Chains A and B, each alone.
Chain A
Amino acid sequence: MTALLEVEGLTKRFGGLVAVKDIGFSINAGEILGLIGPNGSGKSTVMKCIMGIERPTAGQVKLQGINVAGWPTHRIARQGVGIVFQHARPLHRQTILEHIKLALLPDNLLMLATDHGVTRQAEEIAGRVGLSGVMHRLPRTLPFADLRRLELAKAIARNPKVVLVDEPFAGLTSGEVADFSALIGSFRAEGHAVLLVDHNVKSVAALVDRVLAMYLGEKVAEGTADEVMRNETVRRVYLGGKIETAARPEREGKDRTPLLDVRGLGVLYGKATALEDVSIHIGEGEFVSVVGLNGAGKTTLFNAISSLVPYSGTINWRGETLAGRTPGAIARGGIVQCPETRELFGDMSVRENLDLGGQHLPVATAATQLDWLFGLFPILKSRQGQAARTLSGGEQQMLAIARALMMQPKLLILDEPTLGLAPVILEQLSKALETLRQTTDITVLLGEQNVTFALPHADRVYVIEHSRIIWEGDPARFAEEAGAGYL
């Protein structure tokens, strides 16, 4: 059988940085190749080079024997390559169905009318990925997972011979991951060649035929999933160890006024209820996790605390109401949110983003804080001058967390911090949180659907489901009382 996609000696340089170095592999029809590696190892860059979004510095990308390296993206797309981007990039003004229709259109200036076949086909694809119910809605009204579905739908619509899928599982619940795995599996069944990148190692291993591991732009291992996961280097630079639960000393002063006290919180988006009668409290120095599936209301809760959405009910901070304060005033008061969407200043450098975070600190404090953060995330130190927009997905996440910490918050709200991070970085982040806990009096509110990360770091856990808090308790009791659907 001949390979559909053959990559040889692929190299990509960004100025002095070699993001991809002499990478080669081939994928046959009906085969899924997994591409793994730590954040910033060059996985997305490989995909962009294949797709023609970045021009390879050297090397060949052969589609059924034709070298397409250096071709413009649209020609490569028409030659039979499709990509599912790491970040969903929906058009704002088009409905879900229009997005899928768009993907079905040929590149023709004279297409003045669509026949009904296209609409029907688009509806069929929407059904296949589970978007039937929301076909006529605009992307911004949809939950995260549905946007990822839309990306898959577009790839299906284009029906490319080679499908590049970048982090399809990031931010999804285990149920959704299973759905997506099945969809990606169906590409294989239909004879496509699939290149799959994701940090969800278990799901990747279960799905792929072979795995290639990268580190610092280079290939470090290739073989079956088992072989690669057992590889020394892969274990060291990518997988890391298990996330440990540290012993939690009892916090003193449990009965004092809680630092943050949320009572009877309600949020409406138009007619839809996003939060209903939510009450939570957080004591000084406590680590509290809010666990819930996508769309359950975690982000809305955090946005209400930061005063980014209008709400009913009360939110008290150190016994005083936050009502009427601007988001800026709340942040200066010590509540700092690291949002799911990151909100980095894309055209500013890593250093500038961090400096903005530390703007209100005395110079000396800011310098120490910066040093400490560079120790925590060494990659940021070496990338100080790079524009935030060009960082890899995981690097951006690290920068967002670092910028939030730079503000020396009293209460740090982390919304899905694990999104897109390699296992080894999760472990580092986990250790960092533990250090924070032991060396400072910081309070943390963590929103996660990844319970393997949320539980070890929590003194207390809330479970939020369908806009309401349905469970509160000790992490140790979570598994038996509320774990169904999360573990």
Chain B
Amino acid sequence: MLRSRTFLIVVPTLLVMALLPLGVGGYILGLLTLAYYYAVFAMSWDLLFGFAGEVNFGPSFLIGVGAYTAALLNHYWLWPIPPCLVAGAFAAVVAGAVLAVPALRLTGPYFGLVTLVAVLLLQNVLVLFAGITGGEIGLDLPDVLSIDDNTNYYYALAFMTVSGAILFGLSQSPVGLILQASGQDAIEAAALGFNVAKHKLAAFCISAFFSGLAGAMLIFYLGTASVGTVVDIAVGVNVIIAAVLGGRRTIIGAAVGSIFLIGAGEILRPLGQLSTFVVSAIALVVILFFPGGFMGRLLQAGGRE
């Protein structure tokens, strides 16, 4: 029931998105392209928080590791894009696992703190070794995905759709159920015979894989890798806001939230500094009064009594 409702909403929306380049200018397509990459960030984050119950305050750690691995390989060794993407994704998984194995032993808010510190560390390392990494200015890349707006748009749309389908499918599968149980009550889950650490670690690695891959794709779309676009704490905060705004535990909501966030930021741009304020205020209101987020309401309304 939940599934069929979701399909009824998602499939037509995707169709409209696929037809957009026929009627919309390059500028808007560019924005949406960016939003679709953010959507993957947010969906990966939601798998970890919404399902495994672990708050990752540093999604941009995983994104950044993926992005910079790909960027360095492309810049210095001139690897072609596909292997750079693969390497970025795997680097994110490895870095994520190195971080998660000890961090998941901690209970309470410590996991979140560890992830937060990881971002700061990464940011510092990148700035310290500015000679290699380009520091604050960034590293420009010899290769880009495409110079055509439409092609870039379709890459991003396809990537978001496939990642979203995998993440959503996972969340609805038995493994998703085990994850939710582990997140809500680890002792109970263990008493039912589930290796909680293993499931959480797997969720973290999957989240890291998609975050890293999306980070790498994003920089090849932008043509440069810079701290401000893929590592900064603010990037992570936006990802989290997008996921919560769209609706935790829905995966799809995270994508909706991202598109909303980037769209709203753009529409309000004439307000200057004020625009960030307005967007944050909207986010606050939604979180306070509709904790389920946009999608939480839509999907769950008729799904269960």
A53 touches B175 (CB 8 A): no
- The binding surface of chain B is classed by DSSP as helix
Contact A74 B193, beta carbon cutoff 8 Å = yes
The smallest beta-carbon distance between B174 and chain A, in angstroms, is 4
Contact B180 A94 (CB under 8 A): yes
Known interface pairs A102-B177, A109-B198; A77-B304 also in contact (CB < 8 Å): no
Q: Interface stretch among B41-49, B90-98, B184-192, B222-230?
A: B184-192
Say yes or no: is B202 at the interface (Cβ < 8 Å to chain A): yes
A259 interface residue, CB < 8 Å from B? no
Q: Is the CB of A154 within 8 A of B192?
A: yes
Residues 150-163 of chain B, each 1 if its beta carbon lies under 8 Å from chain A, else 0: 00000000000000
Judge whether A111 is part of the interface by a CB distance below 8 angstroms: yes
Given A111-B175, A137-B305: A93 and B193 within 8 A (CB)? no
Report chain B residues within 8 Å CB of A158.
192-193
Residues on A with beta carbons closer than 8 Å to the beta carbon of B175: 108-112
Whole-angstrom CA separation of A85 from B192 in the bound complex? 12
Docked-complex contact B305 and A111, CB < 8 angstroms: no
**A95 CA / B249 CA spacing, docked (Å):** 15
**Chain B, 189-221, CB within 8 A of any chain A CB:** 189-196, 198-199, 202
B169 adjacent to chain A (CB < 8 Å) = yes
Binary CB contact string for chain B from 116 to 136 against chain A (1 if under 8 A, 0 otherwise): 000000000000000000000
Is A176 on the interface with B (CB-CB < 8 A)?
A: no
Tell me how far the C-beta of A346 lies from the nearest C-beta in chain B, rounded to whole angstroms. Answer: 13
Supposing A77-B192, A93-B249 touch, asked if A114 and B174 sit within 8 A by C-beta, the answer is yes
B146 located at the interface, meaning its Cβ lies under 8 Å from any Cβ of chain A in the complex = no
Size band of the interface chain B makes with A = 20 to 34
Task: Tell me which of A74, A85, A138 contacts B196 (CB under 8 A).
Answer: A74
Q: What chain B residues lie within 8 Å of A325 (beta carbons)?
A: none
| Inter-chain contact A53/B196, CB cutoff 8 Å | no
Is B170's CB within 8 Å of the partner chain A?
Answer: yes
B181 contacts chain A at the CB level, 8 A cutoff: yes
* Contacting residue for A73 out of B184, B191, B199, CB 8 A: B191
Residue A78 interfacial (CB < 8 Å)? yes
Interface string of B45-63 (1 = CB under 8 A from A): 0000000000000000000
The interface bits of chain B over 25-46 (1 if a CB of A lies within 8 angstroms of the residue's CB, else 0) are 0000000000000000000000
Task: Specify which of A52, A75, A111, A138 is in contact with B174 (CB 8 Å cutoff).
Answer: A111
Asked if B178 lies at the interface with its beta carbon under 8 angstroms from chain A, I say: yes
Q: How far, in whole Å, are A277 and B76 apart by their CA atoms in the complex?
A: 80
Also in contact, A91 and B304, with CB within 8 A (given A51-B191, A74-B190, A102-B178): no
Most buried by B among A53, A73, A82, A98: A73
When chains A and B are docked, how far (Å) is the Cα of A111 from the Cα of B194? 13
A150, chain B: closest CB distance, angstroms: 12
What distance in Å separates the Cβ of A375 from its nearest Cβ neighbour in chain B? 35
Residue in chain B with minimal CB distance to A88: B188
Any B CB within 8 A of the CB of A83: yes
A220 to chain B, nearest CB (A): 28
Of the candidates B177, B184, B195, B304, which one forms a contact with A136 in the assembled complex, judged by CB atoms under 8 Å apart?
B304
| One of A95, A107, A111, A136 near B193 (C-beta < 8 A) | A107
The answer to whether A74 touches B174 (Cβ under 8 A) is no
Residues of B within 8 A of A154 (CB): 192
A-B contacts at CB below 8 angstroms, number? 87
Across the interface, which residues of A come within 8 angstroms of B188, CB to CB?
85, 89, 91
What A residues does B177 contact at CB under 8 A? Answer: 94, 98, 101-102, 105
Structural contact, B199 and A91, CB atoms closer than 8 A: no
Do A109 and B173 touch across chains, with their CB atoms under 8 A apart?
A: no
CA distance A74 to B198 in the complex (A): 11
A92 closest partner in B (C-beta): B184
The reply to whether the CB of A103 lies closer than 8 angstroms to some CB of chain B is yes
Report yes or no: B191 in contact with A102, Cβ–Cβ below 8 A: no
- Of B173, B175, B187, B188, most buried by chain A (CB within 10 Å of CB) is B188
Shortest distance from the beta carbon of B175 to any chain A beta carbon, whole Å: 5
Please tell me which one of the listed residues B173, B184, B191, B192 contacts residue A112 in the complex, with CB atoms under 8 A apart: B173
Q: How far is the CA of A72 from the CA of B196 in the complex (A)?
A: 10
Report B-chain residues with C-beta under 8 Å of the C-beta of A92: 184
Alpha-carbon distance A485/B192, docked complex (angstroms): 36
Residues on A with C-beta less than 8 A from B174 are 101, 105, 111-114
Cα(A85)–Cα(B190), bound, Å? 13
CA A182 – CA B284 in complex, angstroms?
52
Instruction: Report how far A73 CA is from B305 CA in the complex, Å.
Output: 34
Task: Return chain A residues, CB-CB under 8 Å to B192.
Answer: 77, 102-103, 154, 158
Cβ 8 A contact of B187, one of A53, A107, A108: A53
Q: Which of B244-283 contact A (CB under 8 A)?
A: 249
Report whether A113 and B173 are in contact in the complex, using a CB–CB cutoff of 8 Å.
Answer: yes
Chain A residue at minimum C-beta to C-beta distance from B199: A109
Contacts of A74 in B (CB 8 A): 189-191, 193-196
Residues on A with C-beta less than 8 A from B170 are 112
Question: Nearest chain-A residue to B198 (Cβ)?
Answer: A109
Whether the Cβ atoms of A53 and B178 lie closer than 8 Å is no
CB of A109 within 8 A of CB of B305, answer no
| Residues of chain A contacted by B304 (CB below 8 angstroms) | 95, 136, 138
Q: How far, in whole Å, are A112 and B176 apart by their CA atoms in the complex?
A: 9
Across-interface contacts of A89 in B (CB, < 8 A): 185, 187-188
User: Chain B residues near A52 (CB, 8 Å)?
Assistant: 190
Give the shortest distance, in Å, between A270 (CB) and chain B (any CB). Answer: 10
8 contacts across the A-B interface (CB closer than 8 A): A75-B195, A83-B191, A91-B185, A94-B180, A94-B181, A102-B192, A105-B194, A111-B175
A73-B187, A77-B191, A113-B173 known; 10 new pairs, CB 8 Å cut-off, are A74-B191, A82-B191, A91-B188, A93-B180, A93-B249, A94-B180, A107-B194, A111-B173, A111-B175, A154-B192
Nearest first, the 10 closest Cβ-Cβ pairs linking A and B are: A77-B193, A73-B190, A111-B174, A112-B173, A74-B190, A78-B193, A74-B195, A91-B184, A107-B194, A105-B174
Which residues of chain A have a CB within 8 Å of any CB of chain B? 51-53, 72-75, 77-78, 82-83, 85, 89, 91-95, 98, 101-103, 105-114, 136-138, 154, 158
